[in-house]
Amino acid sequence: MPRFYTSAVHAGRQDFRELCVHAPPLDLSTTYPVDDLATGTASFDALVAGEAEAGNPIYARLHNPTVARTERAIAELEGTDACVAFGSGMAALTAVLMERRQHGGHVLVVRPLYGTSDHLLASGLCGLEAEFVEAGDIGARLRADTTLVVIETPANPTLALVDIAAVVAAAGDVPVLVDSTFATPVLQNPASLGATYVLHSATKFLGGHGDVIAGVVCCDDDHARPLRTVRAATGALLHPLAAYLLHRGLPTLALRVERAQANAGEVARRLERHPAVAAVHYPGLGNVRNAHLVGSQMRGAGALIAFEMKEGKAAAAAVMRGVRIITPAVSLGSVDSLIQHPAGLTHRVVDAAAQDANGITPGLLRLSVGIEHVEDLWEDLAQALDAAADTGGVTELRARA
């Protein structure tokens, strides 16, 4: 088996010599000619039943060759039999929830996790009862109708870690879904620890350039087939152009993650020393829940940092206003650094009590560190922090709020 750097470059490209191409083909067809009705009918039945491929793609909602190629590449990097790609990370999660609804009505969820994932689960829109529990209580809260356990590690936005193997053991026969977006396959492979589903918002690190919206679920073939059936029925297939861009970004994934992670470690250490900062949450500092899992479950601490401003929300807003190189925007995992305010943006849809209980404070900022030069990043962040610490500026912002 090739090492990760090699797999990232060559995954999904094994037939290039046969095709006599050097770049991934892009198939934008919406429909495919059916010369033989018997073959077409058999292909239709196979794809609707969730098979990965058939003699004829029939229609792009059922199958697209460019998407399938990207899926094969990501499955190889994640170490799973299959990968099923969707139009967004939320579409991917929704498909899993819809499929699991056929097997039971109860889901156990460990907070914190991405705000919209939290909202979807809490809302009951997929017909499931979500019970939010601590990871250590999963075994005791299982019911006969428990159909799924959902965790995110590292957690969004606090970077707390969850012991995947321990959760899998506690869940027993109940499938476990791990949102591994923050870690990427570079740093963590949940399936190797027993997770049934590995979810990525591929919009983030896998795409890596801020120009793709996508979601993927990596799993074994038996669990992939019903997900493809849901995808075909709901029209949630990833667009082939997005799949093409996603595949194009994979060869540099390890390089991007490792450079961003190195930058994040240095920025986190400097943030700890800044007088305007009350607390820094970064697995590499050993100050998040289960930080000991770095080096075992995770092969590195990642490129995300959460930090709290001493002056609260007003100071956090001032930092977002003050940065010049770092972009004040939601999302993460891009080549450029992004900073955002979880309580006011990504996690605004989460119940206020749940925000408080899970450390999503008014002064918390989440920084996705990119691949820029670390000194330029720090100079930009430091000047914004210094400005936010200015009493007059903070007072003025607070008065406007």
> pLDDT tens-digit profile of 7-62?
999 999 999 999 999 999 999 999 999 999 999 999 999 999 999 999 999 999 99
Q: How far apart are CA 393 and CA 129, in angstroms?
A: 46
The last residue of one of the domains, among 199, 231, 252, is 252
Catalytic residue among 100, 204, 228, 231: 204
Neighbours of 13 (CB within 10 A): 19
Strand partners, 138: none
**Residue 380 belongs to a domain with what CATH number?**
3.90.1150.10
The answer to whether 101 is a known catalytic residue is no
User: Count H helices, E strands: the chain?
Assistant: 16, 12
Domain end among 252, 279, 313: 252
Q: Specify the number of domains making up the chain.
A: 2
Question: Does residue 202 surpass a pLDDT of 60?
Answer: yes
Task: Kindly state the tokens that stand for 220.
Answer: 């074994």
For the residues of 309-373, what is the DSSP string, one character each?
Answer: ETTHHHHHHHHHHH-SSSEE-S---SSS-EEE-TTTTTTTTS-HHHHHHTT--TTEEEEE--SS-
Q: Active-site residue among 5, 27, 32, 61?
A: 61
141 is a catalytic site residue: no
The pLDDT value given to residue 389: 85
Q: How far apart are CA 135 and CA 310, in angstroms?
A: 30
Q: Within this chain, do residues 14 and 129 fall inside the same structural domain, yes or no?
A: yes
Mean pLDDT of 79-84: 98
Q: Do 230 and 325 fall into the same domain?
A: no
pLDDT bin (cut points 50, 70, 90) of residue 390 is confident
The answer to whether residues 190 and 198 touch, using CB atoms and an 8 Å cutoff, is yes
Nearest residue to 378 via CA among 333, 337, 343: 337
- 77 and 207: one domain? yes
Whole-number pLDDT of residue 91: 98
Residue 342 makes CB contacts below 8 A (sequence gap 6+) with 115, 156, 157, 306, 360, 364, 365, 366
Q: 280 and 237 in one domain? A: no
Q: Which of 118, 163, 179, 380 is catalytic?
A: 179
Catalytic (active site) residue 313: no
The question of whether 114 is a catalytic residue gets the answer: yes
What was the pLDDT predicted at 401? 40
Q: Give the pair of three-digit tokens for residue 303.
A: 């490129």
Distance CA 48, CA 301 (A): 41
- Tell me the residue range of the domain where 128 lies: 4-252
Q: What is the pLDDT of residues 155-180, one digit of tens each?
A: 999 999 999 999 999 999 999 999 99
DSSP type of residue 76: H
In percent, the amount of the chain with pLDDT more than 90 equals 96
Per-residue pLDDT for 394 more than 50?
no
Q: Which helix (H) or strand (E) holds 277?
A: strand 277-281
Q: What is the pLDDT of residues 326-343, one digit of tens each?
A: 999 999 999 999 999 999
Q: What is the CATH number of the domain that holds 62?
A: 3.40.640.10
Predicted local confidence at residue 1, as pLDDT: 76
Which runs of consecutive H residues, i.e. helices, occur in 63-183?
A: 65-78, 89-100, 115-123, 138-141, 164-171
User: How many CA atoms are closer than 13 Å to the CA of 71, on its beta-carbon side?
Assistant: 28
Domain shared by 295 and 344, yes or no: yes
- Strand-pairing partners, residue 237, are 86
Q: Which residues contact 40 (CB under 8 A, 6 or more apart)?
A: 34, 56, 58
- φ, ψ of residue 168 to 5 degrees: the values are -60, -45
Question: Are residues 284 and 231 part of one domain?
Answer: no
Give the pLDDT of residue 393. Answer: 45
d(CA 206, CA 14): 20
Residue 248 and residue 263 in one domain:
no
Whole-number percent of the chain with pLDDT over 70:
97
* Active-site hit among 69, 100, 114, 380: 114
Do residues 184 and 52 share a domain? yes
Q: Are residues 240 and 291 in the same domain?
A: no
Do 297 and 155 reside in the same domain of the chain? no
Query: pLDDT tens, 103-159?
Result: 999 999 999 999 999 999 999 999 999 999 999 999 999 999 999 999 999 999 999
47: left (phi over 0), alpha (psi -120 to 50) or beta: alpha
